[in-house]
Amino acid sequence: VSTNLTSRKAQRVPTKAVSKEIERIDQLFYTYADGSSSMIDPEGIETLCSHLEVPHTDVRILMLAWKMGCEKQGYFTLDEWRTGMKALRADSISKLKKAFPELVQEVTRSSNFQDFYPYAFRYCLTEDKKKCIEIPVACELLNLVLSLQFRPQVEKLINYLKHQNEYKVINMDQWMGFLRFCNEINFPSLDNYDADQAWPLILDNFVEWLRASEN
């Protein structure tokens, strides 16, 4: 009987600890949540960022949104918050700060980055049924999510996007093409770029522009 009691007690302890952790996670959420919507809105996120001592445009905030599975740009729901904070084992600002380096490592792992990169695009679609992002937003986003790994390519690509007049917006297919280009094409030689290989037209134009500016 005594062993049964002991094992039942042992099972109860972690559950208690977990519910305490969730309580702290929830308390942290309500520190930043807007009272009427019960969500952390853009203003709440700015306050959160100032407490984390990171700019709200920092890529780590986008990584945090990815970890939470946030669906709407600039808003965190309680469920999303719980998902992210439990995964990061963070129930305080100091623990969340400490979790950032590990989160960055996690996102930049190739398999996760394949998921994070299109997520970043979808996260920037501010209205329902919107399929494209404007060129200035695309340039900012490329700088944010791709320049860590592919700075030379991204600098040229942003330069091209700002100077061309054919495209006003970028769609998901083009966005994914940028990543494939950075992963597959020798840069700056471009010697393995083959326009017959079903690249989005914008990349054919980009390569043409690059070659012309080289000459």
Distance of alpha carbon 18 from alpha carbon 94, whole angstroms = 19
The phi-psi region of residue 198 (left if phi > 0; otherwise alpha if psi is between -120 and 50; otherwise beta) is left
* Whether the Cβ atoms of residue 76 and residue 68 lie closer than 8 Å to each other: yes
Q: What is the pLDDT of residue 94?
A: 98
Vertex 54 angle, CA 172 and 84, to 5°:
60
Domains and CATH numbers, the chain: 16-108 (1.10.238.10), 111-214 (1.10.238.200)
Q: What is the pLDDT of residue 129?
A: 85
**DSSP symbol at 46:** H
Q: What is the pLDDT of residue 12?
A: 52
Note the pTM of the prediction, 2 decimals.
0.88
Query: Which residues of the chain have a pLDDT value below 50?
Result: 1-2, 10
Q: What is the pLDDT of residue 14?
A: 59
| pLDDT tens digits along 70-95 | 999 999 999 999 999 999 999 999 99
Q: DSSP characters for 154-209?
A: HHHHHHHHHH-SS-SEEEHHHHHHHHHHHHHS-TTT-TT--TTS---HHHHHHHHH
